[in-house]
Copies of this chain bind each other. A is one copy, B any other.
Amino acid sequence: MKAKMITHSQSEADKVAAAGFTEVYEPVKPYLDELDVFLQSQIGELEPEVRDHVRYVFGHSGKRLRPMLVAYSGWEGPAERAQEDLIKLGAVIELVHLATLVHDDILDEADTRHRQETAAKKFGPAAAVLIGDVLFSHALKLAADFQTTEVCRAVAQATARVCAGEIAQTYQRGEVNYSRDFYFRVIRLKTAELFEVACRLGAKTAGYPAKFSEAAGLFGRHLGSAYQIFDDLVDLYADESMIGKTLGTDLTKGKFTLPLLLLLEKLSPNEKNALLARFRAGDATVAAEITKRLYDFPVFEEVVSAFEGQLTHATEAVAPFAGLPPVDAMQKIASLVRAQLQGIG
């Protein structure tokens, strides 16, 4: 079972690479290479005091999933400077993503990401707050290079939403008792929003018509939601002996995964309240017990169904534009994500 190798501590990019995303990665490799050259060139644009910090963050930052979506959504776009603009746009979105990672690692008190020390660990949480701010503000500065203010507006808005999603999640810590609507709202804000903006602005920047860029945005939103659900599931499937630990960690951090939410919905009010009360009282054995109960209900099946539902929405969003160059690749991405889950099921 391939997924045995995928543990909670591995990065999203590793998961993607490990499960056969090479097929999606290869066509955009030249784009990603240019993106990295561009990102490195930006270090020289920063004030000298922050260059080493930013260089460090750039050096340990995964496989550029969101820029890949920019590249695919703008694939062979008719705009005159499409490629050049898509690289800058990919950089803007990756910088925002890196900024949120740097800040998230402070929140989560995470020591490692991508098997390297986090900025919070290496430079201290105080410096990491500022490093995230520098990444974010440089993203917006680059966004201001586009001819219209639309890129600035969309990126700023997306960032506000990502943060709102994180706050919603943070605010709920200790309140492991929220609704399915709330869960989907949080993943849409904290994860799907940036996928959506990557796809919508990618298509638009490349010169495709507004109707397609809106559809591409919808594709991104649902792909992002599927991606987050997948993330929840991988954590569970990764290694059955680790489930208790993982769920325990999630519970402790107040990270509310879909499997957990669905399970709590299925328990009797009495059992649910008893479990939650024990959790709140700090009973460490509760995670193992919750884990055991997962197998008494069709929780996994429902999570898979939610995941597949999101991918279907993604696929349907761009289906009417099948004649446009990006659509084939976008559909392939959706299929690969879908196949990946079957690989670990």
A binding-site residues for B, Cβ under 8 Å: 46-47, 49-50, 53, 99-100, 103, 106-107, 125-127, 129-134, 136-141, 143-150, 152-153, 155-157, 159-161, 163-168, 170-171, 189
Besides the known contacts A107-B129, A140-B140, 6 further A-B residue pairs in the complex with CB atoms under 8 A apart = A49-B168, A49-B171, A99-B133, A131-B167, A140-B159, A141-B153
Task: Enumerate 24 A-B pairs (CB-CB under 8 Å) in ascending A order.
Answer: A47-B160, A47-B164, A49-B164, A50-B164, A50-B167, A103-B129, A106-B125, A127-B171, A130-B163, A130-B167, A131-B163, A134-B164, A134-B167, A137-B157, A137-B163, A139-B156, A140-B156, A141-B153, A141-B160, A144-B149, A144-B150, A145-B153, A148-B149, A149-B152
Q: A129–B127 contact, CB under 8 A?
A: no
- List of B residues within 8 angstroms of A140 by Cβ: 140, 152, 155-156, 159
Q: B53–A167 contact, CB under 8 A?
A: yes
The 8 Å CB contact of A130, one of B49, B103, B139, B155, is B103
Q: A149–B156 contact, CB under 8 A?
A: no
The 8 Å CB contact of A159, one of B50, B133, B161, is B133
Closest to A142 in B: B156
Minimal beta-carbon separation of A87 from chain B (angstroms): 18
- List of B residues within 8 angstroms of A125 by Cβ: 106, 125
**In the complex, A106→B136 CA distance in Å?**
18
- List of B residues within 8 angstroms of A47 by Cβ: 160-161, 164-165, 168, 189
Minimal beta-carbon separation of A143 from chain B (angstroms): 7
Q: A163–B103 contact, CB under 8 A?
A: no
**In the complex, A106→B130 CA distance in Å?**
10
Q: B163–A133 contact, CB under 8 A?
A: yes
Among A126, A136, A147, A165, residue most surrounded by chain B Cβ atoms (within 10 Å): A126
Minimal beta-carbon separation of A191 from chain B (angstroms): 15
Closest to A186 in B: B49
Among A53, A129, A131, A150, residue most surrounded by chain B Cβ atoms (within 10 Å): A129
- List of B residues within 8 angstroms of A99 by Cβ: 133
Minimum-distance CB pairs A-B, first 3 = A47-B164, A144-B153, A140-B156
Q: B106–A46 contact, CB under 8 A?
A: no
Minimal beta-carbon separation of A100 from chain B (angstroms): 8
Closest to A155 in B: B140
Closest to A45 in B: B160
**In the complex, A100→B53 CA distance in Å?**
19
**In the complex, A130→B170 CA distance in Å?**
10
- List of B residues within 8 angstroms of A152 by Cβ: 140-141, 143-144, 149, 152
- List of B residues within 8 angstroms of A133 by Cβ: 99-100, 103, 132-133, 136, 159-160, 163
Q: B127–A156 contact, CB under 8 A?
A: no
- List of B residues within 8 angstroms of A170 by Cβ: 126-127, 130
Q: A149-B144, A171-B127 are in contact. Are A160 and B46 (CB under 8 A)?
A: yes
- List of B residues within 8 angstroms of A145 by Cβ: 149, 153
**In the complex, A186→B213 CA distance in Å?**
43
**In the complex, A344→B189 CA distance in Å?**
51
Q: B144–A163 contact, CB under 8 A?
A: no
**In the complex, A134→B126 CA distance in Å?**
18
**In the complex, A102→B22 CA distance in Å?**
42
The 8 Å CB contact of A138, one of B129, B138, B160, B168, is B160
